[in-house]
Amino acid sequence: GDSVTQMEGPVTLSEEAFLTINCTYTATGYPSLFWYVQYPGEGLQLLLKATKADDKGSNKGFEATYRKETTSFHLEKGSVQVSDSAVYFCALSMNTGGFKTIFGAGTRLFVKA
Amino acid sequence: KAGVTQTPRYLIKTRGQQVTLSCSPISGHRSVSWYQQTPGQGLQFLFEYFSETQRNKGNFPGRFSGRQFSNSRSEMNVSTLELGDSALYLCASSPLTSGGIQETQYFGPGTRLLVL
């Protein structure tokens, strides 16, 4: 079945370090891909998305490119801040007559000052 | 616009009871999805509703059911509660797109259910 695999956390970085959170997926069709973020004490919210191959989603300095050939959607940020500390979820969404979204397990990021 | 609201926010039940959770989507959003979030299993898709019809369902037993009303508000019901049903239940709404691509889902704060 469809699935999303993302790197296990927690990931601990110093401020201004480079961030990569790996995400790979398995899907029978052509899904849309998403990164959602859950800040401490807050609800889940969209960070960025890409709906077709080679699309790049970007927001708040984060980027991810939809790579169909490697079935990946890795999240990157050039310089993290303490305020980026959160749990990041990679997700795919399929339209199979209705929408079904599959989430990865989540990766907790800690950024130290 | 008001966000997705879920009621109640917290709930304590005992095994064998049933529970009904409510979700009000963002005005104009007709797709509503439900998820169960637990530390062990993460975020798992329960079902998706659109125009009062369940269009998709995850791998949960029949004790989990839902419905959507004509105003797009949705409820989910869990009957014969088990200890393992303790979780955060999230509702998300999404606007309709003409291209068949799911737009962003907007999540509510969730209902935290504890089964004793």
CA distance A5 to A60: 23
Chain B: residue whose CA lies nearest to A96: B56
Three-state DSSP at B96 gives coil
Of B56, B94, B107, the CB nearest to A44: B107
pLDDT of B12 strictly over 90: yes
Contact residues on chain A for B36, CB-CB shorter than 8 A: none
**By C-alpha distance, which of A45, A49, A37 is closest to A87?**
A37
CA distance B29 to B68: 12
Alpha-carbon distance values, B77 to A69, B37, B41, B113 (Å): 41, 16, 20, 12
- Contact assignment for B102 to A89 by CB distance below 8 Å: no
Q: What is the pLDDT of residue B65?
A: 96
Distant-in-sequence, close-in-space partners of A28: CB < 8 Å, separation ≥ 6: A2, A94
Residue range A6-16, pLDDT digits in tens:
988 899 999 99
Ranges of beta strands (E only) in A3-106 are 3-6, 11-14, 19-21, 23-26, 32-38, 44-50, 56-59, 62-65, 75-77, 86-95, 99-103
Q: Please state, rounded to an integer, the average pLDDT across all residues of chain A.
A: 93
- Contact assignment for A95 to B100 by CB distance below 8 Å: yes
Chain B: residue whose CA lies nearest to A98: B55
**By C-alpha distance, which of B32, B44, B38, B10 is closest to B96?**
B32
CA distance B110 to B51: 22
Among chain A, residues having any CB pair with chain B shorter than 8 Å are 32, 34, 36, 43-46, 49, 51, 89, 93, 95-106
Residue range B15-48, pLDDT digits in tens:
999 999 999 999 989 899 999 999 888 899 999 9
**By C-alpha distance, which of B46, B96, B105 is closest to A44?**
B105
- Contact assignment for B102 to A99 by CB distance below 8 Å: yes
Q: Which of A44, A51, A95 to mutate to test the interface with B (most CBs of B within 10 A)?
A: A44
Does A10 sit behind a cis peptide bond, omega within 30 degrees of 0 on the bond before it?
yes
Q: How far is CA A71 from the centre of its chain?
A: 13
Phi first, then psi: give them for residue A18, nearest 5 degrees. -85, 140
Residue range A30-85, pLDDT digits in tens:
899 999 999 988 889 999 999 989 999 999 999 999 999 999 999 999 999 999 99
DSSP assigned state of A97 = S
Residue range A82-107, pLDDT digits in tens:
999 999 999 998 877 777 889 999 99
